[in-house]
Structures are given as structure tokens and as C-alpha cells.
A and B are shown apart, each in its own frame.
Chain A
Amino acid sequence: MIRLSVPFRQALSRLSFPVMLALSLGVVLIGRADTNFSDLVRAGLDDLLAPLYMAVSGPIQAAEHGTGAIGHLFSLSEENAQLREQNAELLQWQEVAMALQAQNNALKASLNYVPSPAPQFSTGEVAADLGGVYARSVLVLVPPANGDAQSLVGAVAMDGRGVAGRVVEAGGRSARVLLITDINSRIPVALGADGAPALMAGNNGPDPSLLYWSPGRPPAEGAMVLTSAQGGAFPPGLPVGVVHYDAQNNPVVLPLANLDSLRLLRLFSYPDNLPELTPIPHTKPETRPAAKAHSRKH
């Protein structure tokens, strides 16, 4: 241990506050000037902490069977009866759905419909709820990316029922998903059966609000909200939620995804939607080759 003289040590302790303050302000400036820098550091830290989070979250998730509630363990038999009933009902619906799919396929075939490419997806467990005061995000563990970790950035994250968010940062074994409720989230959506365009904007509350719907046609209560391909960031037709009017009579979206207790997320990468972002030149459309079907990873 180095022994310092008392006056020197006093001077050092007096200097340490202004020096550290200046350094921190410098970091603020660096972070402002180069957002990639903080993203990079953040992704590195997330990767470092991901196994730690999983070590703790794993037992909790095992205890609750991925339902997000430990209390359900006490009502298993009632739940089983209810599920059996529901299962019988769903089997009837399955037949209806299969008939409709066959009809849909026949109609598509007669229209020479070009299907949109099947996306690649990977499934990840939600390890940590890393939202901030003004941000809503979760950390997802992903299988080690083969080669480029950045290929996950921009992937659409869905839980079993609907869109939960998008991947904003990805590291070697973890990805950060910005939820649709985040204040920076803006998603073009289509409302109802006729697909009226609107913008869904997060507000850090539980229900994102709806903006910029066409003035003559206010969104109908209970209308289905699907993603829209406008802007090219999202594929069309993914389920997001249902329109609802809040106490102030403003339209909001009740998300289908269970955003409070996300446990598993599927991350869909749509590589072929990227060219739609570029402006289309006004030339005669050529016959496009049939979109190649992507083999499903995982």
C-alpha cells in the first residue's frame, strides 16, 4: 500500500469530486454525440448480466410454469376442468379454421396470390425487466447468433398472442426488446376490417394511444388493431390489440400481448421487408420472382 502524506491526501480528496463530475459530464456529452457508443456498452453489459439474471429468473419461472403468477398453483383442479372445457370448444373452432384455410388457399390459388415470405424466428426467454423510469424494455436471452448478432436488431417480438415490441440492441446471447408501451415506440397500424390507417404511440402507461386516424372516421370501440406495412418497418397483419376508449374519451389500444409478465418471446426477422423502405422508382413493374421460402430456424 502506498503511504501518502496527509496534505496530499486531503488535496486528492478535494479534487476527486470536481474531477469525477467533469468526467461524468464528459460521458453525457459523448453519449449525446455518439448514440452507438452507449448502445454498444449497454449490449455488452446486458450480455454480461444475462446468465446472472437467468440464474435467478429460472427458478421463479419454473415455479410458475411460465404463467407469470405463482398463485395459480393453488387452483390447479378448477383450472384443469376449465381448460378441458375450453379445449373441447377450441377443437370445434379448429375444424372451422381448417375449412376456412382450405377455402382461403383455393381462393388465393385462383387469384395467383404471391405469399409473403415466411420469416426466420428464434425463441427467447425473458430474463430481466430492464425498463427505466421513462422507458419500457425487457432483456431476452437468445441462442448464440451464428455470425452476426446485429441481424436480430429490428426483429419483431411477439408473445403467444400479439406484438410485444421490437429488438433495439442485440449482443452475443441477449437482446433488448423495446416494448410497444415505451414512450419512443411509434407503430403504424391498421384498424378494423377496412384497415383504416393510424399510428400507435406508446406513453409509458399500460395502454398505448392511437394518433393520426382519419378525421372523419374515428376508431370504433372493439375494433381489431393490426400492424400495417406503411413505412416498411413492420410486416402487415400482425395482431397488436383492440381499440378502447379510456376515461378521457381518447382512443387507446389494449395490447393482446401480456406485457406485464412476459416470459417467452419469439423474435421474427423479416429480411425481405427492408427494400420496401426505399422509395420505389416509377417504372413499369417487372414480374417479380416468387419470394423464396425461408427455412425456419430453430
Chain B
Amino acid sequence: MVQGPALRRPLTLWRRLDTASRRAFPGFILVAGLIIIGMPFGLPNQAALRPVYAMACVYFWSLYRPASLPTPFVALCGLLLDLLGLSPLGLWAVILLLLQFTTIAARRRLAPAKFLVTWGAFTGFAVLAVALAWAGQSLLELHMLPLWPVAWQGLFAAGLYPVLARLLIRAHRGPAAVELA
């Protein structure tokens, strides 16, 4: 190889830009997805997809690239989710932060595990988080909300994660890989 190790290459402007875009990639995808899910596509239960998507992104990036989604950014994404989805302000910020914390705590076990295990773990986390959101919103609005969206979102979580993970794994090795800059 003609090129030396990455550390010795000079930090040109283009390389800095490359690094910055790679760093920003996971966050950008997360926010863009949240906004795109609001477009009127007319899918049934489209709104239930939004928290599931946010959870899948936070889970995946916390597992494989924890530095890419800093805690304050996750909290802001949670606030965005609350503002777009008409849930009590701050509720999803708390839940996404808890999810990120749990995922990072379980990282040593989950990251080297087989895909089926990470998938199952995500589905479990998602169902817990959605149940927490249901309980929190019922408590804050002082009436019992229907339970069936919890089941819906659990199904969405189980169905969406393999599809999303395939795309995100590709991103993890390509456009989001800071070490390749």
C-alpha cells in the first residue's frame, strides 16, 4: 500500500468534512426518518411506526456505535417525537434515554451476540418501552388509553428491526464509519 496508516495522513479540509459527515450520519438518518414518517402516505397505523423507528435507531447505534448518538441528541429526538406525535412533551425523551442507557449497559453481551438474539432483545426492549409510554401517557392524561396500540407497536418493532438493521449495518460499514474517513 502506498498510503500510510490513517493517523499519519494529513488532516485536510476535505477529510475533516468527510469525518464530520460520517459522524453526523446516524443522527441525520434518525431525524429525517421521524419527519418522513409524517408524510401522508395513507398507510394504516402509520403514526405507530414513528416511535418504533426512533427506538430501532437508538438501539442499533447505541449497540454498535455508541459515540454517534450523544445523550443530549437522543433527548432532543425524544422531544421531536413528542412534538410530532402529540404525546405529552418529554415523555419519549425519558423513554429513549432509558432505552439508550439499558442498551449501553447490555452492550458487552449483546454486541457480539447473534442477530436473532439482538433482534429478540430489541423486541423485548421495545415492548417494555411502549408499555411504559402507554402507562406514562395514561397517567399524565388521567384516563386509561386503549391497549391495542401497544400490541401493534410490538408487532411493528419485531417486523421493522430486521429490515432496518440490514440498511443500518450497511451504513455502519460505509457512510457512518468514522474510522474510514
Q: B-contacting residues of A (Cβ < 8 Å)? A: 16-17, 20-21, 23-32, 37-38, 41-42, 45, 49, 52-53, 56-57, 60, 68, 126-135, 137-139, 183, 203-204, 260-262
Flag if A20 contacts B75 (CB, 8 Å). Answer: yes
> From residue 67 to 115 of chain B, which have CB atoms closer than 8 A to chain A?
70-72, 74-75, 78-80, 82-91, 93-94, 97-98, 100-101
Using Cβ atoms and an 8 Å threshold, which residues of chain A touch B180? none
Look across to chain B and name the residue whose beta carbon is closest to the beta carbon of A126.
Answer: B40
Main SS of the interface on chain A? Answer: helix
Main SS of the interface on chain B? Answer: helix
Contact with A along B134-167 (1 / 0, CB 8 A): 0001001000011001000100000000000000
Look across to chain B and name the residue whose beta carbon is closest to the beta carbon of A262.
Answer: B40
Question: Given the complex of chains A and B, what is the CA–CA distance between A137 and B83 in angstroms?
Answer: 12
Chain B nearest Cβ from A215, distance in angstroms: 24
Question: Given the complex of chains A and B, what is the CA–CA distance between A42 and B90 in angstroms?
Answer: 12
Flag if A129 contacts B46 (CB, 8 Å). Answer: yes
Flag if B47 contacts A23 (CB, 8 Å). Answer: no
30 CB-based A-B contacts, threshold 8 Å: A17-B101, A20-B71, A20-B72, A20-B74, A20-B75, A24-B79, A24-B90, A24-B94, A24-B97, A26-B90, A28-B88, A28-B91, A30-B89, A31-B88, A32-B88, A42-B86, A49-B35, A49-B38, A52-B35, A53-B39, A56-B36, A129-B42, A131-B46, A131-B85, A133-B47, A133-B51, A134-B146, A183-B145, A203-B146, A204-B146
Chain A nearest Cβ from B53, distance in angstroms: 12
Flag if A132 contacts B85 (CB, 8 Å). Answer: yes
Using Cβ atoms and an 8 Å threshold, which residues of chain A touch B91? 28
Look across to chain A and name the residue whose beta carbon is closest to the beta carbon of B146.
Answer: A204
Flag if A132 contacts B88 (CB, 8 Å). Answer: no
Using Cβ atoms and an 8 Å threshold, which residues of chain B touch A52? 35
- Number of B residues contacting the other chain (C-beta, 8 Å)? 43
Question: Given the complex of chains A and B, what is the CA–CA distance between A262 and B41 in angstroms?
Answer: 11
Given A30-B90, A128-B39, A129-B38; 9 other pairs, CB 8 A cutoff? A21-B98, A24-B97, A27-B79, A32-B140, A45-B83, A131-B46, A133-B85, A135-B85, A139-B38
Is B121 part of the contact surface with A, judged by Cβ < 8 Å?
Answer: no
Is B30 part of the contact surface with A, judged by Cβ < 8 Å?
Answer: no
Is B133 part of the contact surface with A, judged by Cβ < 8 Å?
Answer: yes
Using Cβ atoms and an 8 Å threshold, which residues of chain A touch B93? 24, 27-28
Using Cβ atoms and an 8 Å threshold, which residues of chain A touch B24? none
Q: Which of A38, A60, A137, A139 has the most CB of B within 10 A?
A: A38
Chain B nearest Cβ from A95, distance in angstroms: 37
Flag if A129 contacts B146 (CB, 8 Å). Answer: no
Flag if A53 contacts B149 (CB, 8 Å). Answer: no
Question: Given the complex of chains A and B, what is the CA–CA distance between A30 and B50 in angstroms?
Answer: 24
Flag if A138 contacts B40 (CB, 8 Å). Answer: yes
Tell whether A56 pairs with B133 under 8 Å between CB atoms, given A16-B70, A24-B78, A132-B87. Answer: no
Question: Given the complex of chains A and B, what is the CA–CA distance between A3 and B42 in angstroms?
Answer: 49
Is B48 part of the contact surface with A, judged by Cβ < 8 Å?
Answer: yes
Tell whether A129 pairs with B149 under 8 Å between CB atoms, given A16-B70, A134-B87. Answer: no
Question: Given the complex of chains A and B, what is the CA–CA distance between A50 and B4 in angstroms?
Answer: 49
Q: Which of A132, A133, A138 has the most CB of B within 10 A?
A: A133
Chain B nearest Cβ from A255, distance in angstroms: 16
Chain B nearest Cβ from A104, distance in angstroms: 38
